[in-house]
Amino acid sequence: MELTIKQCKSLEGHITVPGDKSISHRAVMLGALASGRTIITNFLKAEDCLSTIKCLRAMGVDITESSDKVTVEGRGLYGLKESCDILDCGNSGTTARLLLGILSGQHFSSVLTGDKSLRRRPMGRITCPLGQMGAVFIGRKDASLLPIAVQGRNLKPIYYKTPVASAQLKSAILLAGLFASGKTVVEEPAKSRDHSERMLRRFGAEIEVDGCVVSVQGQRELRGQTVKVPGDISSAAFFIVAAAIVPGSDITIKDVGLNPTRSGILEVLREMGADIDINNYRLDTGEPVGDLRVRGSTLKGTVIEGDIIPRLIDEIPVLAVAAAAAQGQTVLKDAAELRVKESDRISAVAKELVKLGADIQEQPDGLIINGGKKLTGAVCQSYGDHRIAMAMSVAGLVASGKTVIKNADVINISFPGFTDALKMLVVE
C-alpha cells in the first residue's frame, strides 16, 4: 500500500490511540504463566502482539479474543507444552526476546524464527546471559541470529550487568529468573522501560527495584489479573509531534500511558518549546496515564543524549522530523541502538528526510540536524519499518505538495488505524 500525505493547515480534535505494545505483550505472556484467568482490555490487536498470541497458543495456551477484551487461561508456571512447529515471531523483537527468556526455563525444546528484519537483529545479547543460567541454544553465529533452537533446563540464578539499556534484554532475564532456583539480578547502565517489573509485581512475583538494579525471586506462583492497557505513547508520539510542528494545531490525545521510563519525548519536545499539557493524570493498573493536549508552536533545536535515550528510543524517528521542522541545530548522540531496530533507523530517517530537503547528517551513534530548511514532498521508502513509515507521514504534513510513502502496510505492525486517526485530525 502507498500512503499519500498532503501538506496540512492544522491538526484539530480529540483522539485515543491503541493500547501499548510493550504492555500488551507482557500481559498475555504473564497471563499464560499465571494460575487462573487474566483479562486484558484495550489489548493492542496489531501484528506484533498477535505474533505473541500465536506463539503462546502453539504452546497450549487458551487465549480468546472478543471485541473488547482478550482472555488468557493461565497454565501456571510449568504448564506450557512443547510446540510441534517452529514459533514464528514475525517482525516482533519483543516476542522473540521475551519468549527466549520463558523458553529457557521449560523442560522441552523450541525453535524460534522471525521475518527478514528480525532474522538480522542481535540475539546474542539474550542467549549469552540465558546460557549462563543453564539454557542451551543453537543458531547461526553462536546463537546470535534467528532461527534459534532452545533447550530449556533447570536454571540457576545469575547477577548480570547488561552491556546496553534494553528492556527486552532485562525482561528476558527476569522472565527466565521466574524459573531459577533463587534470586536473579539484572543491572543496567541506564534505566530502560519498566513495564515488566510493574506487571510482574502485579501478578504476585517478588520483585525488588533499586535504581538500575532489578531482582526477581524464582519459582513463585503468579496469579491471573485484570489488566487495562493504556494508550501507547509511542503511537501518540506521531500526533504529538505533528500538532507541535504545525502552527495553529490544537489536539487532545486521551488515556495515554505516561510511564516515566517512556515519556522522554515529552521532556525533549517541551525543551524545544512545544506546548504540551497533561490533564487527568492518574494511576491505572499500576501504570501512570493521562490526557495530552498539544498546541502548535515554533520549536527550536536541542541536544538529545545520555540516559534519556532509552526513555525515548522508539520516538527518535519522529523526533528527527520535529528537529527538521525546528529552528536551529539538533544533535542526537548515544543512540547507536537505533541501528539494530526493525531497520537501521539512523540511516533510514536521514536518507528519507534528505529527500524532502532537510539538512541532516548521519553520525555513528546519532544525527546532526540543521532545522528550518524548506521541506518539499517526495516519494519515501518505509524500509519495512512501521515507525519510519509513520514518521515520514508526519514530515509530509509540513512538506509542500504531496509526500508518498511506499510500502506503508507495515504500519499495521504497531498501529492499525493510524491513517484514519490522521484523517480525523488533519485540516487540509
Closest separation between CB of residue 98 and ligand S3P, Å? 7
Q: Compute how many residues bind ligand S3P; rule: CB under 6 A.
A: 12
Name the DSSP class of 226: E
- 167 near ligand S3P (CB under 6 A): yes
Smallest distance, Å, CB 337 to ligand S3P?
Answer: 6
Of the pair 168, 403, the CB lying nearest ligand S3P is at 168
Q: Is 318 in the site for ligand S3P (CB under 6 A)?
A: no
Task: Report the interhelical angle of 386-398 vs 418-425 (nearest 10°).
Answer: 20
> Do 404 and 333 form a contact (C-beta atoms < 8 A)?
no
**Would you give the end-to-end CA distance of the chain in angstroms?**
22
Residues 18-37 that bind ligand S3P (CB under 6 A): 22
Which phi and psi (to 5°) does residue 20 adopt? -65, 130
Closest distance to ligand S3P from the beta carbon of 353 (Å)? 20
Indicate the SS3 state at residue 347: helix
Of 174 and 369, which CB lies nearer to ligand S3P in the complex structure? 174
Annotated catalytic residue 314: yes
The DSSP-derived string for 15-55 is: EE-PBPHHHHHHHHHHHHHSEEEEEEES---SHHHHHHHHH
Between 87 and 126, how does the x/- string for binding to ligand S3P read (CB under 6 A)? -------x--------------------------------
Short-list 393, 390, 398, CA closest to 416:
390
Strand partners, 293: 252, 277
DSSP helix/strand/coil, 273: coil
Grid cell listed for 206: 517478588
Applying CB under 6 A, does 313 fall inside the site for ligand S3P?
yes
**By C-beta, is 197 or 291 nearer to ligand S3P?**
197
Q: 264-271 and 233-245 are packed helices; what angle lies between their axes, rounded to 10 degrees?
A: 10
CB atoms within 10 A of CB 78: 11
**Least distance from C-beta 138 to ligand S3P, angstroms?**
23
Grid coordinates of 164: 546496553
For residue 249, state whether it binds ligand S3P (rule: CB under 6 A): no
Q: Which one of residues 42, 51, 52, 166 is an interface residue with ligand S3P (CB under 6 A)?
A: 166
| 38/92 with CB nearer ligand S3P | 92
Binding residue for ligand S3P (CB under 6 A) from 168, 249, 261, 302? 168
Question: Beta strands 366-371 and 379-380: pairing type?
Answer: unpaired
Would you say 47 or 291 has its CB closer to ligand S3P?
47
Q: What does the chain come to in residues?
A: 428
CA dihedral 306, 312, 317, 319 (to 10 degrees): -80
Residues 192-211, interacting with ligand S3P (CB under 6 A): 192-193
Q: Site residues for ligand S3P, window 334-353 (CB under 6 A)?
A: 337
Query: Catalytic residue among 314, 334, 344, 365, which?
Result: 314
Question: Contact region for ligand S3P (CB under 6 A) — 76-84, 167-175, 209-217, 298-306?
Answer: 167-175
CA–CA gap between residue 144 and residue 100 (Å, rounded): 12
In this structure, what is the dihedral angle of CA atoms 22, 24, 27, 28, given to the nearest 10 degrees?
Answer: -120
CA distance 301 to 304: 10
Q: Between 116 and 423, whose beta carbon lies closer to ligand S3P?
A: 116
CA angle centred on 93, ends 334 and 393, rounded to 5°: 70
With respect to ligand S3P, which residue has the nearer C-beta, 20 or 88?
20
Q: Cα-flanking dihedrals φ and ψ of residue 6, to 5°?
A: -105, 155
CB of 279 to ligand S3P, least distance (A): 27
Among 47, 314, 344, 352, binds ligand S3P (CB under 6 A): 314
Q: Which is nearer to ligand S3P, 136 or 336 (CB)?
A: 336
Give 276's strand partners: 294
Catalytic residue set = 314
Instruction: Report the interface residues with ligand S3P, using CB under 6 A.
Output: 22, 94, 166-169, 171, 192-193, 313-314, 337
